[in-house]
């Protein structure tokens, strides 16, 4: 929220709350003028890219083999469920419900392959 690229989004929300049409239009124009790589949606995609850039299932296997404490397991489950839900919400907001369902179904089908 502190990065300058987010300011137009904050201004946009503020304008909507205050019903300030001119501020809303200025904020909307600023958002439109942001290069794609600085738009909010691109920031999420970039974070996912970095998060999975060095993904290696062998490292996961090692973690599992070495074990997790009993207290770690509920926390890991909570993170998995939360992130999966957030990703679905992101896709739904970006692509719509039907495309989100298709993307997730295809991803599950792909992940199930040996």
Q: How far is CA 27 from the centre of its chain?
A: 23
pLDDT confidence of residue 102? 98
Number of domains into which the chain is organized: 2
Mean predicted confidence (pLDDT) in 39-61:
87
Asked whether the predicted pLDDT for residue 105 surpasses 90, the reply is yes
What's the domain range around 87? Answer: 56-114
Asked whether the predicted pLDDT for residue 49 surpasses 70, the reply is yes
Mean predicted confidence (pLDDT) in 14-40:
93
Phi, psi (rounded to 5 degrees) for 108: -65, -45
Residue 62 shares a structural domain with residue 114: yes
Asked whether the predicted pLDDT for residue 1 surpasses 70, the reply is no
pLDDT confidence of residue 64? 85
Residue 3 shares a structural domain with residue 35: yes
The helix (run of H) or strand (run of E) holding residue 72 is helix 72-95
Whole-prediction pTM value?
0.73
């Amino acid at each position: 929220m502190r990065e300058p690229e987010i300011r137009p989004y904050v201004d946009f929300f503020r304008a909507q709350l205050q019903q300030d049409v001119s501020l809303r239009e200025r904020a909307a124009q600023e958002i439109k003028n942001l290069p794609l790589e600085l738009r909010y949606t691109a920031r999420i995609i970039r974070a996912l890219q970095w998060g999975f850039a060095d993904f290696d299932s062998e490292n996961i296997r090692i973690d599992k083999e070495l074990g997790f404490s009993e207290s770690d397991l509920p926390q890991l489950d909570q993170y998995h469920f939360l992130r999966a839900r957030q990703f679905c919400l992101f896709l739904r907001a970006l692509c719509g419900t039907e495309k989100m369902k298709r993307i997730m179904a295809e991803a599950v089908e792909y992940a199930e392959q040996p």
